[in-house]
Amino acid sequence: MRTLLLAPLLLLAACGSGGKSDTPDNAAAAGFVPPPTQLPTPIPGQEHSNPITAYVGKYPGDAVDGVGFYDRTEVSRALIDAVGDEKVRRRFTSRDAVSVPIWQAKDGRIAAHGCEPHNCSDVDWTFFVTADGARGEACFHDAATMGATSRWYAANVAPATRPGDCPQE
């Protein structure tokens, strides 16, 4: 009987040493380096069977053969290549954003526009991608920080400021 009472006490005593570590609690976090963003690559045999133009007239969140516009390998790769700032990039792919149907611009590129709910006139964005998905260009507008200008992003080019809001078709 004594052994049955003594065993739980020994287990409780072994759970903590009661001492405090000499290193601060955030020492491991301070040295953390997040992994780099990996470019999307389709699994062999899983390439998209529909062209990007199949999304014209649909909303960015609508699926074509089970795949949303920003979930397509070439579209997500073009967005990552164009917009280095992850916080801005997340705005484009947000499922909570207000969006309009995707359209094909006069130059042949496919375009998707979105904005912040209840604040479309002040915070909005447009992403253009070539029909083959090889190159993307993005516009982001935030009136609070940019006034009457927008910031434009493209691969291998520093972001540029242009007058006006982002195109909406």
Q: What is the 3-state secondary structure (H, E, C) of the chain?
A: CHHHHHHHHHHHHHHCCCCCCCCCCCHHHHCCCCCCCCCCCCCCCCCCCCCHHHHCCCCCCCEECCEEHHHCHHHHHHHHHHCCCHHHHHHHHCCCCEECCCEECCCCCEEEEEECCCCCCCEEEEEEECCCCCCEEEEEEEHHHHCCEEEEEECCEEEEEEECCCCCC
pLDDT attached to residue 157: 92
Along the 169 residues of the chain, how does pLDDT read in single tens digits? Answer: 555 555 555 555 555 555 555 555 555 666 777 777 665 666 666 665 789 999 999 999 999 988 899 999 899 999 999 999 999 999 999 989 999 999 999 999 999 999 999 999 999 999 999 999 999 999 999 999 999 999 999 999 999 999 999 998 7
pLDDT attached to residue 79: 96
pLDDT attached to residue 32: 73
pLDDT attached to residue 50: 85
Domains of the chain (ranges; CATH) run: 51-169 (3.40.1420)
